[in-house]
Structure 1
Amino acid sequence: MAAKKDTIAVALKYEKSHAPRVVASGKGAVGEAIIEKARESGVPVQENPALAEALSTLEVDQEIPEALYRAVAQVLAYLLRTAGHLR
Structure 2
Amino acid sequence: MMKKINKVAAIRYDIDEEAPRVLAKGKGIIADKLLQKAKTEDIPIYKDENLANELSKLDIGTYIPPELYEVVAEVLTFLDNLDQKFKK
- Count how many residue pairs are aligned between Structure 1 and Structure 2: 81
Instruction: Please state which structure has a larger fraction of its residues in helix.
Output: 2
User: How far off its partner does 1:7 sit?
Assistant: 1.8
- Give the gaps of 5 or more residues in structure 2: none
Question: Identity of counterpart residues, as a percentage?
Answer: 35
Q: 1:46 maps to what in 2?
A: 46
**Corresponding position: 1:75 with 2:83:** no
- Give the match for residue 33 of structure 1: 33
Q: Which position in structure 1 is the counterpart of 2:23? A: 23
Structure 1: gaps of 5 or more residues: none
- Taking the aligned partners of 1:78 and 1:65, their CA distance within structure 2 comes to 20
C-alpha separation between the residues in 1 aligned to 2:79 and 2:48? 13
* CA distance in structure 2 between the partners assigned to 1:16 and 1:42 by the alignment: 22
TM-score normalised according to structure 1 size: 0.87
For 1:56, the equivalent position in structure 2 comes to 56
